[in-house]
Amino acid sequence: MVRRLMFVALLALALSLALVGVVAAADTGTKQVGVVIAFPDNTTHTEIVTVPITATAFDVLKAARINLVSQTSSFGPAVCAINNVGCPATNCFCDPKQFWAYYHLNGNAWVVSAEGASGYAPGNGAVEGFVWSGMDAKFNPTLQPPVFTFAQIAAAPKLLTLPKTGGRGLWLIGSGLGGLSLAAAGLALGVARSRQAPR
């Protein structure tokens, strides 16, 4: 009985906090932007980033969970390297044949941005793409990131790690409210096991 009550209470608390967070974000002038970053080793980083409503795509990159190297020039900030792919800030365009190409997702297709990341402010729910690419004779990028819609990025599973409870480590996979619900359930179960463990 105690275990069941504890589970219900923690689950309700997790869901309440999640809903409060969503409402608060909407009321404080923020927006959520999806990011898709493709690397030469065929790995892809996807993330939903919450930023101020006036943020540019460059601001979104700065807020993302990546290692960003940039250089400020007369044209504004330039993306030099992402996660050690690219050029150093002291020589942002060290590779004359490759650069970080920037795209906007339009439906299910990428469109090359007509301006740099620092000159464009994506809307709420937009998806911005970056890929380390070569260029053709007209300086157009030759590569595109894989297509991920905002909904697909938001639904991607995320690993939630909980502290050890009663000598047992717990990990759960979820996303959004579902992830929080699973986390609450796992925590309640861990606490219950802790109470039952012999002393």
CA distance 11 to 150: 27
Asked if pLDDT for residue 171 goes beyond 50, the answer is no
Question: Is-above-0.85 flag for pTM?
Answer: no
Which amino acid is it at 150?
F
Q: Residue 109: which of 78, 146, 68, 139 has the closest Cα? A: 146
Sequence-ordered list of residues with C-beta below 8 angstroms from that of 100, at least 6 positions apart, any chain: 79, 80, 81, 82, 86, 130, 131, 132, 133
Strands 76-82 and 85-86: antiparallel
pLDDT-derived band at 75 (thresholds 50, 70, 90) equals: confident
Longest dimension (CA), the chain: 73
Q: What percent of the chain has pLDDT over 90?
A: 62
CA distance 58 to 116: 8
pLDDT-derived band at 88 (thresholds 50, 70, 90) equals: very high
- Give CA 156 to chain center in angstroms: 10
Asked if pLDDT for residue 185 goes beyond 50, the answer is no
Mean pLDDT of the 1-11 span: 50
CA distance 78 to 80: 6
Mean pLDDT of the 165-180 span: 44
Sequence-ordered list of residues with C-beta below 8 angstroms from that of 64, at least 6 positions apart, any chain: 35, 37, 45, 47, 49
pLDDT of residue 15: 40
- Can you spell out the DSSP letters for 69-86? EEEEETTEEEEEEETTEE
Task: For residue 22, give both structure tokens.
Answer: 């969503």
pLDDT of residue 6: 54
Asked if pLDDT for residue 184 goes beyond 80, the answer is no
Range 177-186, long-range pairs (CB < 8 A, 24+ positions): 177/15, 177/18, 177/19, 180/14, 180/15, 180/17, 180/18, 181/11, 181/14, 181/15, 183/14, 184/7, 184/10, 184/11, 184/13, 184/14, 184/15, 185/7, 185/10, 185/11, 186/160, 186/162
* Domains parsed from the chain with CATH numbers: 2-26+157-196 (no CATH), 30-155 (2.170.130.30)
11-39 tens-digit pLDDT:
444 444 433 444 445 557 999 999 999 99
94-147 tens-digit pLDDT:
999 999 999 999 999 999 999 999 999 999 999 999 999 999 999 999 999 999
